Structure 1
Amino acid sequence: MPSINFFEEDVNYSLKNKQAIRKWITETILAEGYRLKELNYIFCSDEYLLSINQQYLDHNTYTDIITFDNSAQGKEITGDIFISVERIRENAVKFNVTEVQELHRVMIHGTLHLLGYKDKTPADKKKMTFKEDFYLATRNFIG
């Protein structure tokens, strides 16, 4: 049974519109020609995400998101997406958007990574941003 789950680590965070978000993410995955097996979003603190960044990626920097692709078969999505609630809040102010808008952007960004999109080169980043904007526009819930 496909599932999208939401967890908290080292923070107390209450995600709103969970069912609508599950539907939106699932529809995004299907629109890209993939199938959903299991996707976990883990909301956490800066320090928690920093420790993951150091331990698994050998990076000593704060970040808003880390995506782990655990898919065993092509075109089937299984993954864990860790999101720093503190970075989301800071970036929302920095980019002059609401916290919910920034959260949704980061959630779809991580999902797009699982769908094969990259963001290391300027061309890849442009394509990623285009896809983020496209799928953000398909949300049919408040936020």
Structure 2
Amino acid sequence: MKKLNFFYRKKNQATNILAFPCNAFIKYNCQLLGDLVICKNVIEEETLKYNISLKEHWAHITIHGTLHLLGYDHKNKQDAKIMEKIENKIMASLHYHKPYI
């Protein structure tokens, strides 16, 4: 993950998830969103660091990455607020804690 993060984002550290959008159509005109690469080790470390359940954190990170594939980002405060609100709403709908307050 560290190598991928450096190659694609020029950040020399591991990250919990990378999203690679795709604009291709497959059979039956179903659009591919792209690929998510999730680092199990980082996810596990974060659950300990933030005292959250592994299952809940996997759900959150998967939602987070999928939102990136859908075009959302958090490069500035306004965009981050929008993305966090959607993540909170989806997590609550799954009966998980809201990751952002």
**Do Structure 1 and Structure 2 share a fold, with TM-score over 0.5?**
yes
Quote the residue 1:52 is aligned against: 4
CA distance in 2, matches of 1:58, 1:79: 20
| Corresponding position: 1:72 with 2:30 | no
Q: Which runs of no fewer than 5 residues in structure 2 stay unpaired? A: 26-30, 96-101
1:137 corresponds to which of 70, 73, 92: 92
Greater share of helix = 2
Give 3-state SS (helix, strand or coil) of 1:137's partner: helix
Pairwise CA distance, 1:96 = 1.8
CA distance in 2, matches of 1:125, 1:78: 20
**4+ long deviations beyond 3 Å:** none
CA distance in 2, matches of 1:116, 1:57: 17
CA distance in 2, matches of 1:105, 1:72: 26
CA distance in 1, matches of 2:76, 2:33: 25
Q: Write the letter of the residue equivalent to 1:135.
A: I
Q: Which has the higher contact order (CA 8 A, sep 6+)?
A: 1
CA distance in 2, matches of 1:78, 1:131: 18
Q: Is the 8 A contact 2:17 2:37 kept in 1?
A: yes
Pairwise CA distance, 1:113 = 0.7
Q: Which runs of no fewer than 5 residues in structure 1 stay unpaired? A: 1-48
Q: Write the letter of the residue equivalent to 2:37.
A: F
Q: Is the 8 A contact 1:118 1:125 kept in 2?
A: yes
How many residues in Structure 1 have an aligned counterpart in Structure 2? Answer: 92
| Corresponding position: 1:82 with 2:34 | no
| Corresponding position: 1:102 with 2:54 | no
Q: Write the letter of the residue equivalent to 2:4.
A: I
Greater share of strand = 1
Pairwise CA distance, 1:81 = 0.4
CA distance in 1, matches of 2:62, 2:93: 14
Identity level (%): 33
CA distance in 1, matches of 2:73, 2:7: 22
Over the residues paired in the alignment, what is the CA RMSD in angstroms?
A: 2.2
